[in-house]
Amino acid sequence: MAYANGYYCNLKETYLFTEIANRVNTYVAAHPEKKIIRLGIGDVTLPLAPVVIEVLHKAVDEMGVKETFRGYGPEQGYDFLRQAIANYYAQRGVDLSLDEIFVSDGAKSDCGNIGDIFADTNVMLIQDPVYPVYLDTNIMRGRKVIYMNATPENNFAPMPDKKVKADIIYLCSPSNPTGSVYTKEQLAKWVEYALENNAIILYDSAYEAFIDGEEIPHSIFSVPDAKKCAIEFNSFSKIAGFTGTRCGYVVVPKNLERQTENGKVMNLNSMWLRRQTTKFNGVPYIVQRAAEASLSKDGLQQCWENIAYYKENARIMMKGFDECGIKYYGGVHSPYLWIQCPGGMKSWDFFDELLAKANVVGTPGSGFGVNGEGFLRLTSFGSRENTIEAMERIVAVFKK
Ligand SMILES: *Cc1c(COP(=O)(O)O)cnc(C)c1O
């Protein structure tokens, strides 16, 4: 008798994106003449950088020649890419050795898979609203999850509560969906909490390339002692537009250790290596070459031009909402604007109003957790023309 994993019954059905599609389709059917602008897109839209494309072509050619053909590579990634990642972190003042870096097919898989090296009895501390991957992957394992409220009162960056005992904490900065960020001082408090509780912080820095200025840290490892309590996830998806090309990485500090429930001391870096070499066979050579190219001097320059484009979109959006007197969070260090629905409207009501009156589509905040109710997520991943037009419409409708 094969039994199915019953914990899957505890997953909440998410109708968010189907429901958005349904409502948009219904509106379009009734108003076929209207041009709908989608500002809810959670995906990059600009093409890969020219340097990346050039290197991809070259790497493909290498695969067609006997002398340079590659089969299985190292599961944890080629040294050339790990070195490029280490150099990238060094530019931010973070020192990593190559064996602390594990290349993967993306941060989503890593954020989900990391649970393999932790006991199922751990208590997980997760923000609400949140990127659903952290939550659902732990529900699938039957782990206990406790929530911390991300609200306007804490700028959507909740801080540790000494009374709450958690074993593993997910932090995402800049955050999806709220665009909030943690300062270095705030992260230092989280590190202090983790060290006091022998906890582990799982830090998602997928949007670090959107951080403006010097103030906000790009990596939790800029905090002293974070290597004693944190694992970091990063990805080429948002910095280099690799959402469809697939490449990410995890940083597991070399000396990071925790005990088993029986008191045996385990090295988490060795465990993750063992997990990856057992269940994962590496990222395509050509993709790793492309990822390396994105971190070269020219590559970064070109990637940052794309990010600057999205950030200018965000500025246009923020200016429009300022004109309307509609409050928002995020947008500065992030492609996400977290709009407080005007007049105390609920997420879906504001969604409907925006669709009907401005023909603009957002993502209802209530889809990301209880505390998302009353908010709407917009992104700056649209085209400049669409962003400008959408904001002109919004200003025309909502400016008092
Ligand atoms: C987009 C995103 C990632 C990156 O995921 P990939 O699997 O690398 O594409 C990671 N975390 C968050 C919160 C994201 O929004």
Q: What is the DSSP string of 301-333?
A: HHHHHHHHHHHHHHHHHHHHHHHHT--EEE-SS
Phi, psi of 233, deg, nearest 5: -110, 135
Separation in Å, CA 346 to CA 309, 327, 387? 31, 14, 24
- Enumerate residues 6+ apart whose C-beta is below 8 A from 351: 20, 23, 361, 362, 363, 364, 376
Residue 117 is predicted with a pLDDT of 98
Q: Is 48 helix (H, G, I), strand (E, B) or coil?
A: coil
Separation CA 376–CA 27 (nearest Å): 19
Q: Is 379 helix (H, G, I), strand (E, B) or coil?
A: strand
Residue 14 is predicted with a pLDDT of 79
Region 25-34: what's the mean pLDDT? Answer: 96
> 32 pLDDT band (50/70/90 cuts)?
very high
Out of 131, 136, 156, mutate this one to test ligand 1's pocket (max ligand atoms within 8 Å of CB): namely 131
Separation CA 355–CA 343 (nearest Å): 17
What atom of ligand 1 comes closest to residue 106's alpha carbon? 8
Out of 127, 207, 294, mutate this one to test ligand 1's pocket (max ligand atoms within 8 Å of CB): namely 207
Q: Is 184 helix (H, G, I), strand (E, B) or coil?
A: helix
Residue 248 forms beta bridges with which residues?
Answer: 104, 235
Separation CA 349–CA 341 (nearest Å): 9
Out of 204, 231, 250, mutate this one to test ligand 1's pocket (max ligand atoms within 8 Å of CB): namely 204
Low-confidence winner among 14-23, 52-61, 120-129, 242-251 (lowest mean pLDDT): 14-23
What atom of ligand 1 comes closest to residue 236's alpha carbon? 8
Q: What is the pLDDT of residues 275-321, one digit of tens each?
A: 999 999 999 999 999 999 999 999 999 999 999 999 999 999 999 99
- pLDDT > 90? residue 400: no
Terminal alpha carbon distance of the chain = 65
Distance 295 CA to ligand 1 centre (A): 18
Q: Which residue has a Cα nearest atom 4 of ligand 1? A: 107
**Which two structure tokens, joined as six digits, stand for 237?**
């998806």
Q: Which residue has a Cα nearest atom 11 of ligand 1? A: 206
Continuous segment of H or E residues that includes residue 376: strand 375-379
Q: What is the pLDDT of residues 205-225, one digit of tens each?
A: 999 999 998 899 999 999 999
Q: Is 11 helix (H, G, I), strand (E, B) or coil?
A: coil
Distance 334 CA to ligand 1 centre (A): 13
Q: What is the pLDDT of residues 232-261, one digit of tens each?
A: 999 999 999 999 999 999 999 999 999 999
| Nearest Cα to Cα of residue 328 among 367, 369, 371, 374 | 374
Residue 250 forms beta bridges with which residues?
Answer: 102, 233
Distance 323 CA to ligand 1 centre (A): 32
Q: What is the pLDDT of residues 351-377, one digit of tens each?
A: 999 999 999 999 999 999 999 999 999
**Percent share of the chain, pLDDT over 70:** 100
What atom of ligand 1 comes closest to residue 237's alpha carbon? 9
Q: Which residue has a Cα nearest atom 2 of ligand 1? A: 206
Q: What pTM was estimated for this model as a whole?
A: 0.97
Q: What is the pLDDT of residues 35-80, one digit of tens each?
A: 999 999 889 999 999 999 999 999 999 999 999 999 999 999 999 9
What atom of ligand 1 comes closest to residue 107's alpha carbon? 8
- pLDDT > 90? residue 124: yes
Region 128-151: what's the mean pLDDT? Answer: 96
Distance 42 CA to ligand 1 centre (A): 10
Region 77-93: what's the mean pLDDT? Answer: 97
Q: Ligand 1 pocket: which residues have CB below 6 Å?
A: 106-108, 131, 172, 176, 204, 206, 235, 237-238, 243, 248
| Nearest Cα to Cα of residue 42 among 235, 238, 212, 210 | 238
Residue 48 is predicted with a pLDDT of 98
Distance 206 CA to ligand 1 centre (A): 6
> 13 pLDDT band (50/70/90 cuts)?
confident
Residue 42 is predicted with a pLDDT of 86
**Which two structure tokens, joined as six digits, stand for 276?**
């990856």
